[in-house]
Amino acid sequence: MGCSRRERGSATVELAAVLPVAAIAMLLVVQVGLVVGAQLVVLHAAREGAREAAVSNDASRAREAALRAGRLDAERAEVLVSPDERHVGTPVSVTVRYRVPIAVPFLARFVADDLRLSATVTMRTEREEPAGG
């Protein structure tokens, strides 16, 4: 009850036809996993930036905290703090926008540019604006 030569050859051809599709699907899964991980990092950076903005009421310190917390490349990141004037109890929002490169080389052919991720976190200001600022 062994396989004939013809059946073995047919199985080989079927495998050769399906293998590239399966490989592409696996690469897509890897890239999606990397993008989801990067989105979590961007959200964490926005949260840390918002916390710093709420506690220190200093936009430059909030930007630094966001970049440091997410270990984000400053050239690929944009950190926005709003509003400019805050008082105790008013909300402050920090938005982090980050350009993520496509990590899987084969997929980079199909995507012309980096992926753009964004996260916004709002917290209540805990201190008055620092003197002179």
pLDDT digits (tens, 9 = 90+) for 96-125: 999 998 877 777 777 767 889 999 999 999
Handedness of CA 78, 84, 86, 92 (dihedral sign): negative
Instruction: Give the pLDDT confidence score for residue 45 in this predicted structure.
Output: 97
Beta strands in the chain (DSSP E): 77-82, 91-100, 115-124
Distance (Å, rounded) from C-alpha 68 to C-alpha 66? 5
Confidence of residue 3 (pLDDT cuts 50, 70, 90): low
Instruction: Give the pLDDT confidence score for residue 11 in this predicted structure.
Output: 81
Instruction: Give the pLDDT confidence score for residue 99 in this predicted structure.
Output: 94
The string of DSSP codes covering 81-118 is EE-SS--TT-EEEEEEEEEE---SHHHHTT--S-EEEE
pTM for the model: 0.80
Instruction: Give the pLDDT confidence score for residue 126 in this predicted structure.
Output: 86
The mean per-residue pLDDT over the stretch 36-61 comes to: 95
Q: Are 31 and 103 a contacting pair, CB within 8 Å? A: yes
Alpha-carbon dihedral of residues 72, 75, 78, 79, nearest 10 degrees?
60
The share of the chain scoring above pLDDT 90, in percent, equals 50
What mean pLDDT value characterizes the chain?
87
